[in-house]
Amino acid sequence: MLGIFFKMTQKTRQSKITRRQQFKLFLSIMVSFAVLFLTLGIIIFNLFQSSTYRSIDKDIRNQVVSIKKQPNMAKKEIDPDPHDPDGQNKKPDPKAPFQASILVFDDQGKLLNKSSLGNRYSVLKNIKLNKRNINVKQTLVVKNMNFRSMLIKVSKKNNNPMYAGHYVLIMQNIDTQIQAIENFEKILIITFFIFWVIALVVSYFLSRINMLPIMKSWKQQTEFVNDAAHELRTPLTIIQGKLEYMLTKPNKTIIDEAEAISVSLDEVNRLNSLTNNLLVLARSDSATTQSNFELTTPDFFLKDPIEPFKDIINSQSKVFQINLLHKPVLNLDRDKIKQLLIILLDNATKYTPQNGTIKIYDQIEGSKYQFIISDTGVGVADNDKKKIFGRFYRVDKSRNTNSGGHGLGLAIAKQIVELHHGNIFVRDNLPHGSEFVVELPIKRNH
Ligand code: ADP
């Protein structure tokens, strides 16, 4: 009851940590995307804005050049046609920008070309001459209208008497451009906001997908440590009990307490094999074991470890049949394959009652070499066929404690087979028992 409660609180704690971790990850992605989009937006906006201003400034520069050089058009402007005093029918300079206006001031700041401004005068009359801004490009706002402007001082030698020796302010209305910039800004903000949201949704799902394998391996690791601790605790408790019991009988001889000593020794052996197995798995997990692969044929199985098993199996009144016929070339780590065979033969012996038969035989299936260890033992239920290769998995826990297993043997066997790029699985041996099939790739070019 307490155990279940503990496990439940542990689970909720874990999912809380996971959620917090996920939230942190999500938050950092959100901020990074925001910074990224913001920077990108500012760069694009500035580029657009500066390119717009650059083209306006270029127009103004052209105007300046044309005024300073050959101001034919301007001449017309200051010498109004007697039939057209307001300059209504004046032909515009084809090069002059559409929305340009030119204001001519004398030294005292008096506007000299009122007449040529037409109805623009009502707006432009508010502009005062500011000599400090000479040759500076400026943005002016007059009665809610925006102008890009530049003031120049025209030399007295200029051909055009209207401009000669005066201040000329070239102005270009930029309301349309400002409107365009504002629209662009709005569109940019909306688009980036939409993409930011899309990026967030995508990254949320991506972060969940990416977290899954991490969570899985984390869960497996925690379970592994929990199971290992549990397995270590049982023999330690037994040894502790036996030792404490012996301490209460200080006058007894070793012979008298032989049973307690032998039980303790058994448990020490169990601990020993458990820690060895744990070490094998841990080393294999962290890929720190050295593998010693060589090209070889399966003959070496026979001498060692198969031969020694004959005596063990026969001594338990069980039959052992060996039927290995094929000799393909395989790339194997011999020691590891021997370890694999010991695990499988040991299990077959352990889970087969007296008078049962244990058999090892081989066959070739396409490009795979298979060796099969079959027994007429208790068999493996369909439900357990995959699970038994998991760590610490035992079908019948009480029975196996007696037979000394920890549920690590087949996990190690699977690791060895995977190291050889092979496959291991269990199937039924009819009418009863099981067959463990190991599939290894054959080296063809040798
Ligand atoms: P154990 O040390 O408990 O034998 P294993 O990993 O070798 O651990 O095996 C896992 C479980 O698979 C065993 O507890 C047993 O229930 C089952 N098993 C393994 N080999 C056989 C077999 N030959 N016949 C029936 N059951 C088996």
The radius of gyration computed from the CA coordinates of the chain, to the nearest angstrom, equals 46
- Pocket probe for ligand 1: among 234, 309, 351, the residue whose CB has the most ligand atoms within 8 Å is 351
Closest CA to 269 of 241, 307, 238, 309: 238
pLDDT of residue 357: 94
Distance 223 CA to ligand 1 centre (A): 19
Taking 80 as the threshold, does the pLDDT of residue 1 lie above it? no
Most confident range, picked from 96-100, 275-279, 345-349: 345-349
pLDDT of residue 193: 92
**208-233 tens-digit pLDDT:** 888 888 888 888 888 888 888 988 99
pLDDT of residue 445: 66
Distance 150 CA to ligand 1 centre (A): 93
**Structural domains of the chain in order of their starting residue, each with its CATH number:** 73-173 (3.30.450), 290-441 (3.30.565.10)
Ligand 1 atom closest to Cα of 407?
Answer: 8
Ligand 1 atom closest to Cα of 433?
Answer: 24
Which residue is it, tokens 């448990």? 267
Q: What is the mean pLDDT of residues 310-322?
A: 92
Q: What is the mean pLDDT of residues 246-263?
A: 92
- Pocket probe for ligand 1: among 378, 388, 412, the residue whose CB has the most ligand atoms within 8 Å is 388
Other C-beta atoms closer than 10 Å to the C-beta of 26 total 15
Confidence of residue 78 (pLDDT cuts 50, 70, 90): very low
Distance 388 CA to ligand 1 centre (A): 7
Q: What is the mean pLDDT of residues 36-51?
A: 93
Q: Say yes or no: CB of residue 271 within 6 Å of ligand 1.
A: no
Bridge partners of residue 81, in order along the sequence? 84
Distance 348 CA to ligand 1 centre (A): 8
Is residue 304 within 8 Å of 338, Cβ to Cβ?
Answer: yes
**88-123 tens-digit pLDDT:** 444 444 445 556 788 898 888 888 888 788 777 887
Q: Say yes or no: CB of residue 375 within 6 Å of ligand 1.
A: yes
Q: Say yes or no: CB of residue 356 within 6 Å of ligand 1.
A: no
Distance 317 CA to ligand 1 centre (A): 20
pLDDT of residue 115: 79
pLDDT of residue 99: 65
Residues 397, 379: Cα–Cα separation, whole Å:
15
pLDDT of residue 403: 57
Taking 50 as the threshold, does the pLDDT of residue 141 lie above it? yes
Distance 302 CA to ligand 1 centre (A): 23
Higher pLDDT, 4 or 29: 29
298-336 CB burial, b ≥16 within 10 A, e <16: beebeeebbeebeeebeebebebeeeeeeebebebbeeb
Burial of 424 (0-12, 13-18, 19+ CB in 10 A): buried
Ligand 1 atom closest to Cα of 343?
Answer: 7
Q: Say yes or no: CB of residue 130 within 6 Å of ligand 1.
A: no
Taking 80 as the threshold, does the pLDDT of residue 3 lie above it? no
The percentage of residues in the chain with a pLDDT greater than 90, rounded to a whole number, is 42
